[in-house]
Structure 1
Amino acid sequence: MNRVLIPALLAAPAIPRDGRLQVLQGEAMGTSWSVRCIGGDAARLRAGILARLETVVAQMSPWEAESDLSRFNRAPAGTWHRLPAEFLAVLDCALAVAQESDGAFDPSIGTLVDLWGFGPGPGPGGSPPGAAECQALRQGVGWRKLRLDLAAGRAFQPGGIGLDLSGIAKGYAVDLVAEFLAAAGIPAFLVEIGGELRGRGAKPDGTPWWVALETPPGEAAPGAEPFLVALHELSVATSGDYRRFFRHGGRRYSHTLDPRTGAPVAAETAAVTVLHPSCMRADALATALTVLGPQSGLAHAVRHGIAALFLTREGPGLREHMSPAFAAMLD
């Protein structure tokens, strides 16, 4: 039996009476994407979806040398730079989560991400970098050094800051596609990009968009049944140490870095899943809670009313830790 999660709804989801289910899919942002929707012209929808994904890549990809992010990272110290509205919206949300989490989420760690081999740079070649080099780069990291002037549409490069938005941009892309579909008059859809999802409405038969929550491959909590969540006006994002990592000396080094130490997070936390109306915020929160760990992270989720599920490695299997907001959705 599955365990079912039902969000509290202010209004029942719209049930489309006409239109057929369409499935659009492809690759972008270094991962796969898919959209399931009811109605609409497939060619027009695909073009609109690709345009939104290309916008995120052109603005926020560290792998594109001429992206807005890459140009900002190369900018001289003490300079202001005009940035697109989408980029600023993501950076503004990133800094808000950084402040709320006391730096557990930090968009300024791009140089450290490269150092550990998880960015476009050459990295350490499958082995941990030296402690001295890591410590030296940490001196240039710090979300508090970043300044935004939203009214003027610009951001300040204090010098040496390397932005990395990989912990939030994918969630924003999901939101951007979802907002396009809604504006195009699509009453019901499910958007997925690299495992992050957002849903709206219901299928013509009245059933919701059921989504199984992600778990680490080959690992499970003893006796635990899978979670299924009904995605209406809700997003789901998961941060897990099994997505990107390398092994060295018998230890797993995850792509999720703790900005406070400059090193990958401990292997105790296998995954954190967050449910939130905004996929961008869910994405950033999942990363922040992973860095905070099960004790501090769960306390943070309780204080801020975040619906979160922690999976930790304890003994032969995984152990679940639910925040009250998450547990409240169990039907």
Structure 2
Amino acid sequence: MPSAYSTKALTFTRFFRFFLIAAIGVLLASCTRQTAATVTLQGETMGTTYTVKYLADGISTPPEEIQQQLDALLEEVNRQMSTYRADSEISRFNQMHDTGKPMPVSADFAAVTAEALRLNALTNGALDITVGPLVNLWGFGPNKEITREPSATEIEQAAAQTGADKIILKQDGGNTLSKTRPDVYLDLSSIAKGFGVDKLAKHLEQAGIGNYLVEIGGELRGKGKNAQGEAWRVGIEQPAITQGTATQVIIPLDNRSLATSGDYRNFHVDQQGRRLSHIIHPHTRRPISHKLASISVVADSAATADGLSTALFVLGEEDALNLARKLDLAVLMIIRDNGGYRTEMSPAFQKLLQ
């Protein structure tokens, strides 16, 4: 079943190849595999795949039981936050037309929404979890056949439905969510994969596993060491369309998370032959048109890294780098430049490589 996490507004094509450099080498397609002290679990979730690696030394719980527990956690995330499930919490909120009426929501749903709203304020509105109506208007929603540019009136009408100020989250004395317009549509796909990574990582630690690497759809979190006694490492390459030899940047993930957002395959061409990105800037209300091809963010939590990579990609190379420097964010950008690509790193990212 398709998932909102891979196709809806503000969800970006993960077009970089991630190489999980660990003791067992290249990942295979089996569900459960064990080599030496390293266990690898794999499955499907949120319209993509997940991979979990951990060191089994001293862990008495069988890998099959741990995977069942992880699958149950991911199913709960989908039950709460998948817009492709009519019975999910987020779908029920989107279908609710009463304004100002608080809807009780789960603690996790509230926490993810709160983080999205925090990042919205931190990035001057670049991360907008209500931007779906504009994405649909430009032809990147369910109706993929829209190729004409919407009129100014249509854009204004869709924009009136968007904005973080149109949802009200309360977490004191219970978790509730309400809206100020009946047609407000919430989509957490720009942050939910990262939250799923954090959820699995927390469960592994509660199970006594201190050395692990978790990945969902390209979002990662690592802690401790691999079987070789080294920090888990991830390599990022440039897109396959790059000519010549691609440079790989190796990032250690010791109690850190990594998320990447980019725009390469998901676009369409309008009647005038213009390439329209599927990523809509909440301020201009139009598809973005900058030269930033990809941005990777390293942060403490995968949810934060996921949301920040989305927001910074919306901002574009110059504003993203300026904000990264101001907030001391670890950011790696790959920028289209004269038919090729060049990289830019924030000072915080450069420190990770030292």
CA distance in 1, matches of 2:180, 2:237: 38
CA distance in 1, matches of 2:306, 2:165: 21
Please list, as runs of the form range in 1=range in 2, the aligned pairs for 1:136-151 lying within 5 A after superposition: 136-151=157-172
Deviations 1:164-208 (A, max 9, x none): 111111111111111111111112111111111111111232122
The Cα shift of 1:243 comes to 5.2
Distance 1:188 1:250, change over 3 A: farther
The Cα shift of 1:224 comes to 6.5
Indicate the residue corresponding to 1:291 in structure 2: 314
TM-score (norm 2): 0.83
- RMSD between aligned residues: 2.2
Indicate the residue corresponding to 1:14 in structure 2: none
CA distance in 1, matches of 2:46, 2:147: 23
Indicate the residue corresponding to 2:76 in structure 1: 55
Q: How many residues are treated as equivalent by the alignment?
A: 314
Deviates more, 1:148-157 or 1:270-279: 148-157
The Cα shift of 1:123 comes to 4.6
TM-score (norm 1): 0.88
Match of residue 24, structure 1, among 41, 49, 52 = 41
Identical amino acids, percent of aligned pairs: 38
CA distance in 1, matches of 2:247, 2:147: 36
CA distance in 1, matches of 2:265, 2:48: 12
Deviates more, 1:122-131 or 1:293-302: 122-131
Q: Identify unmatched segments of 5+ residues in structure 2.
A: 1-20, 22-34
The one-letter amino acid paired with 1:27 is E
The Cα shift of 1:223 comes to 7.3
Indicate the residue corresponding to 1:197 in structure 2: 220
Deviates more, 1:172-181 or 1:246-255: 246-255
Q: Does residue 178 of structure 1 match 2:201? A: yes
Distance 1:243 1:87, change over 3 A: farther
Q: Does residue 106 of structure 1 match 2:128? A: yes
CA distance in 2, matches of 1:155, 1:200: 33
Please give the secondary structure, in 2, of the residue aligned with 1:94: helix
CA distance in 2, matches of 1:314, 1:183: 46
Q: CA contact under 8 A between 1:214 and 1:238: conserved in structure 2?
A: no
Q: CA contact under 8 A between 1:33 and 1:193: conserved in structure 2?
A: yes
CA distance in 2, matches of 1:123, 1:162: 19
Indicate the residue corresponding to 2:64 in structure 1: 43
Indicate the residue corresponding to 1:218 in structure 2: 241
Indicate the residue corresponding to 2:143 in structure 1: 122
Q: After TM superposition, where is structure 1 displaced by more than 6 Å over at least 4 residues in a row?
A: none
Indicate the residue corresponding to 1:231 in structure 2: 253
Please give the secondary structure, in 1, of the residue aligned with 2:254: coil
Q: CA contact under 8 A between 1:256 and 1:287: conserved in structure 2?
A: no
Distance 1:245 1:51, change over 3 A: farther
Q: Does residue 314 of structure 1 match 2:342? A: no
Please give the secondary structure, in 2, of the residue aligned with 1:258: coil
Please give the secondary structure, in 1, of the residue aligned with 2:240: coil
CA distance in 2, matches of 1:208, 1:134: 48
